[in-house]
Amino acid sequence: MPRTLSLLARAGPAAIAIASLLFAWQFYTDLSGISPTTLPSPVRVAEQAWANRRALWDNTLPTIHATMLGFGCSLATAFVLSILLDFSQAMRRALFPLFIVSQTLPLIAIAPLVVLWFGFGLMPKVMLIALVTFFPMLVALVQGYASTEKEISMLLRSMGAGRWRRFRLARLPSAAPFFFAGLRISVTYAVVGAIFAEYAGAARGLGIYILNAKNNFRPDLVLAAVGVSATLTLLLFAATVLVQRLAMPWLRLQRVPRP
Partner 1 sequence: MTPKLELEDIRKAFGTTPVLDGISLDVRAGEFVSILGPSGAGKSTLFQMLIGGIRADSGSIRCEGQPLGLEVGRFAFMPQRDALMPWRRILDNVTLGLEVQGMARKPAREKVLPLFPEFGLAGFENHYPAQLSGGMRQRAALLRTVVQERDMLLLDEPFGALDALTRSGMQRWLETMWQRYRWTALLITHDVREAVFLSDRIYVLSARPARVVRDFSVPLPRPRHAGATGLRDASAVEAAVLETLLKTETSGESNP
157 counts as binding partner 1 under rule CB under 8 A: yes
- The DSSP letter of residue 159 is T
Q: Which of 37, 147, 216, 254 is close enough to bind partner 1 by CB under 8 A?
A: 254
Stretch that binds partner 1, among 39-47, 94-102, 160-168, 230-238 (CB under 8 A): 160-168
Handedness of CA 239, 242, 244, 246 (dihedral sign): negative
147 counts as binding partner 1 under rule CB under 8 A: no
Binding residues among 79-138 for partner 1 as defined by CB under 8 A: none
CB 247 → partner 1: shortest distance, Å? 9
Q: Rounded to 5 degrees, what angle do the CA atoms 168, 237, 227 make? A: 155
Stretch that binds partner 1, among 33-41, 145-153, 182-190, 203-211 (CB under 8 A): 145-153
For 151, how many CA atoms within 13 A lie in the half-sphere containing its CB? 0
| Rounded CA Rg of the chain | 22
The binding track of 163-202 with respect to partner 1, each residue x by CB under 8 A or -, is --x---xx--x--x--------------------------
Output the CA torsion 118→123→126→128 (10° steps). Answer: 0
- The DSSP letter of residue 257 is P
159 counts as binding partner 1 under rule CB under 8 A: yes
156 counts as binding partner 1 under rule CB under 8 A: yes
Q: Which of 32, 38, 89, 158 is close enough to bind partner 1 by CB under 8 A?
A: 158
Q: Which of 14, 101, 253, 257 is close enough to bind partner 1 by CB under 8 A?
A: 253
Stretch that binds partner 1, among 18-26, 83-91, 152-160, 181-189 (CB under 8 A): 152-160
Among residues 189, 190, 191, 188, which one has the least CA distance to residue 206? Answer: 191
Q: Which of 46, 73, 155, 226 is close enough to bind partner 1 by CB under 8 A?
A: 155
- The burial class, CB within 10 Å (0-12 / 13-18 / 19+), for 154 is exposed
241 counts as binding partner 1 under rule CB under 8 A: no
Amino acid letter, 95: L
Binding site for partner 1 (CB under 8 A): 149, 151-152, 154-161, 165, 169-170, 173, 176, 248-250, 253-255
